[in-house]
Amino acid sequence: MVRVRGRATRKPIARKVANSQQDNQVQLGLYLLWLRNELDSEAAFLEMPWTMLLLLTFAVIVYMHTRPDFVVVVEGGWKSAIEESATFAWSDHFGHKNVHDVNSLADFWSWLRLGLLPLLVQHSWAWSEGLDGAYTKLASANFSENFSMQNLPERLDLAYGLFADEPWGRAKLPVRDDVLSYNKIVAGIRLQQERAVGSWEACNIPASMPEELWKDWLGKPCMVSEPSYFLTPEVHDSETFNGEPMRVEWMLTAQQDLQELQMLALDMEDGCSDLTGKSLMAGRPEVPEDCWCQSCRDGAQGPAGSLIPGPWLDEYTRRVEVSTVAYNQNYGLLSFVSVNFFINKGGHVYTLLDVQSARIDPYVGYLLSVFIMVLCDILWLIGLLKLLFNEVQDIVNTITGSQSVWWKALLFEYFAFWNVVDWLSLACAWAVLGTYVRAGVEVGETSLQLERVLQPDVVNLTRTELAARSDLVFQATESLVAAERDFRTTLLFFPMLVMLRLFKSFHAQPRLALVTKTIITASQDLLHFFIVLFSVYSCMAIFGYLLFGQDVQDFSTWDRACITCFRALLGEWDWEELQSVGRVLAAIWLWCFVVLIVLLLVNMVLAILMDAYGVVKSQASVMMTVPQQISEMLRRRRLNRDKKTVRLSEIWFAYLEQFQSMREMFESEVLVKPEDLVKVVPGLPLSQAKRTLHSAQRLWKETTDVRYGMGNMRMQLKMCSGRVKILQEEVSAVRIAVEEARDAAGTLPSPTHLGLKESTLRIVDVLRDTVGSLRSQVQGVLEEECNIYELGHRNLQDEQRTMRVCAQDAKAKLKVMLQRLEGLSTALDEHATKEQVHSVFGSTARDLRDPEPSLVAGLQRSLAICSEPTRSQLVA
């Protein structure tokens, strides 16, 4: 739309345009403003296919580079196995507890030794439970005496090859470090923890109590730790460690079997106590008093202050992480699997299972999928480069076409909302590229470390050397999954910015701009209404925070209370959890929230939007549609190709050379005619000059023609009321001045005094004349608008009447034509019958020629009826 420069210039410009309509003249500034608007709208509309192509290629890139279907399968398998198969508290063959039932340090060791290690370390084939008893029953039934578990092999042979009858090799199952048959542990199992610091200063004790008394009563200092994990941890809490990990222990599955790992867990639990007794157990090292837990050797303090062996877990432990690195060769995913136990100061143990995966090489697979991936990568990069080139070109044009300094030109003439959206899209896209390159570098480093730990000589390395290699693998894997996480995070923002760029293209088409124009139209009402909504919403959130904060974790902090209230706004609440504070109090809060916010305020927001949508929809019904705009653009391209017209950009640049800046172009008030345009623009046809001037003039009239409606009448009446009030105030001031003068003179004029009567009559006459003139003006405006409305209504009735007459005439003609066509069809049937008869019995030439004139005459009469004018055409 053409924008008016200001209220002060609106009337002079409108008057000049109105006076110049007969001469087909328009102010040059208005014409150039229309021209610039046409060029911008066309450019924005043409960006829509490129933006959609950019979005489509981006969707393919995201899917094929990240493959979320692969990730969810692998990570889901790990989580399901650890939650359902790593059980403890066994009763016969059934474990009653899983990882989420770990509520103490003792439960952790039971879960690790009896649940997790047997799941991860399986060096022999697993048979079904009760198989030994089944063999015993068969032997007792005299079926066979050879049924025994001891006769079963520990490992099975697997023949593999391209076809079943062409084996290429054999493998022994289970393969060492295989988990769930399709995942392979790479560098063992790592255990590490976060530890707190004991301090009496961290204790919260009433100041009225003697210090020595409560210290003796407590018996131990308080623990200082940040974060305190007082609420359920989230995923990001498990992805990073706070500070340097402490007491790192390695369970090297490549060198140790299940029994040795369970012995290591025993040493970690009891702090290497009774090593002499443990030395009698099978599988202990040659040195009987050697502690397998390296960090437990100095885990406690002796009576004289010396360090002695102690348990790996104690009350200083705030968090425990049990992690491993596994590779799934079927999907090409390297996974970092971690089970985290967070111990808060209330004594509660939170369990969080986290699996992070990354693809080692996405360009591996079927040739067609790799080709599609590379093609989409190239198209996406081309789209980004095209967008960058367009923005740089706009910057250059803005700086060269401005009189200001370059930074002022950019700040005041270039930077607008849609340009900011374009640059944010570019920044996000290059951030995606940067994180992808970083992930590629991390993949190379991780592959190098994997190659070192997969060497066949690792079985001959010492425990310390293998632990060092495993540590490098874990560090590289953590860096890789962190880079993959950053890459996925940057991917999240790009579709949102592409959506805004689509709205930019939609805004250039009136029918597609319904959403943006609706929001712009309702922006003021929404701004004021959201102040009310935010105030009421905050009050209800505080209400819920105070009411449920001590019993419901979702209301225990301010941010969680706000999010929970928003979920309740969408109809999602847990009544069983809410009524834990009391059914009556919970019902009061829920009733207030639903009635005030859900039923009233939210529906009022919808009403505001629907009202604005109705206004915008009524305006869009008479605007250009998408097919019409495409047809107009194709028409311009066709005429330009045939050299019948020139491009609008050529007209723009022709005038840009005559002015020093675009501001001067838009502020020019020189009246131009089509002949003037032809002189300035080389090759511009006179017809195109007239057409463009007429379009600019018509658009200017549409944007400045404001009809006198109820709003204008109300404004005029308010103005009249204000003027009457001012007049009343002035009359009151005159009266007060007269009374003061009378009091000062000390004489009381008679009401029948001649001068007083004359002044009163004059005031009454002036008021009567003023009100009469206002009445006549309002009456004239109303009569004029009513006449215009009646004239338009009368014209509409005439057009409808004419259309009805035309429709009736057309209906009558169609009926006559139908009758004639039926007769013609009958005649043709008779003619065909006669032809058949004459072909059999023979006929004279006259008989063959008889039906032809009648057929020709019937066709001529039908065509004559079609060519007859209607009654409306005769009247016209």
Residue 633 reports pLDDT greater than 60: yes
Q: For residue 181, how far is the Cα from the chain centroid? A: 39
- Whose tokens are 């005029």? That residue is 716
pLDDT band at 287 (very low <50, low <70, confident <90, very high): very low
Rounded Cα–Cα distance for residues 273 and 261 (Å): 17
Fill in the DSSP letter of residue 143: S
- pLDDT (0 to 100) of residue 702: 65
- The CA distance from 657 to 401, in Å, is 9
- Token digits of residue 449: 């470390």
The model's confidence at residue 210, banded by pLDDT at 50, 70 and 90, is confident
The rounded mean pLDDT for the chain is 80
3-class SS shares of the chain: helix, strand, coil, % to 5: 65, 10, 25
The DSSP-derived string for 305-336 is S-EE---S--TTEEEEEEEEEEEETTTTEEEE
Q: What is the pLDDT of residues 93-141, one digit of tens each?
A: 666 888 999 999 999 999 999 999 999 998 778 777 777 777 777 666 6
For the chain, what percent of residues have pLDDT higher than 90? 23
Q: What is the pLDDT of residues 386-407, one digit of tens each?
A: 889 988 988 888 887 777 788 8
> Distance between terminal CA atoms of the chain?
38
Query: Residue 126: its pLDDT value, please?
Result: 79
Contact predicate 295/264, CB 8 Å: no
* 6, pLDDT greater than 80: no
pLDDT score of 532 more than 50: yes
pLDDT band at 736 (very low <50, low <70, confident <90, very high): confident
Mean pLDDT along residues 253-278: 83
pLDDT tens for each residue of 550-597: 889 889 889 999 999 999 988 888 898 898 899 999 999 999 999 999
pLDDT band at 760 (very low <50, low <70, confident <90, very high): low
**What integer pLDDT is reported at residue 590 of this predicted model?**
92
Above 70 in pLDDT, residue 856? no
DSSP 295: G
Q: What are phi and psi of 513, to 5 degrees?
A: -90, 20
Mean pLDDT across 428-451:
92
Tens digit of each residue's pLDDT (9 = 90 or more) over 637-671: 888 888 888 888 888 888 888 886 777 788 888 88
The pLDDT tens digits for 675-734 are 888 888 888 888 888 888 888 887 777 665 555 556 666 777 778 888 888 888 888 888
Judged by DSSP in three states, 227 sits in coil
- Tell me the CA distances in angstroms from 419 to 187, 388, 497, 541, 746, one per residue in order: 50, 11, 12, 38, 77
Pull the structure tokens for residue 265. Answer: 């867990």
Q: Which of 156-165, 371-380, 532-541, 743-752 has the lowest mean pLDDT?
A: 743-752
pLDDT higher than threshold 80 for residue 787:
no
pLDDT confidence of residue 402? 73
pLDDT at residue number 717: 77
pLDDT for 35-85, tens place per residue?
888 888 888 888 888 888 888 999 999 998 989 999 999 999 999 999 998
Its pTM surpasses 0.85: no
Strands 333-343 and 178-179: what pairing?
unpaired
Report residue 279 as tokens. Answer: 């030395």
In angstroms, the CA 830 to CA 825 distance is: 9
Mean pLDDT calculated for residue range 812-818: 83
CB 1 within 8 A of CB 703: yes
Mean pLDDT of 262-272: 86
Q: Are strands 183-195 and 197-199 parallel, antiparallel or unpaired?
A: unpaired
Please give the pLDDT value at position 321. Answer: 94
Q: Mean pLDDT lowest for which of 173-187, 393-407, 529-543, 775-789?
A: 775-789
pLDDT at 854: 52
pLDDT at 19 over 50: no
Place of tokens 């495993």: 470
The answer on pLDDT for 549 being more than 50 is: yes
The model's confidence at residue 601, banded by pLDDT at 50, 70 and 90, is: very high
SS3 state at 157: strand
Q: Which of 349-353, 496-500, 852-856 has the lowest mean pLDDT?
A: 852-856
What is the per-residue pLDDT for 353?
94
Query: What are the φ and ψ backbone dihedral angles of 604, each rounded to 5 degrees?
Result: -70, -35
Q: Does residue 341 contact residue 350 with C-beta atoms inside 8 Å? A: yes
| pLDDT surpasses 80 at 87 | yes
Distance separating alpha carbons of residues 788 and 172, to the nearest angstrom:
97
Least confident stretch, 104-108, 230-234, 310-314, 839-843:
839-843
Q: Give the C-alpha separation, 701 to 26, whole Å.
A: 11
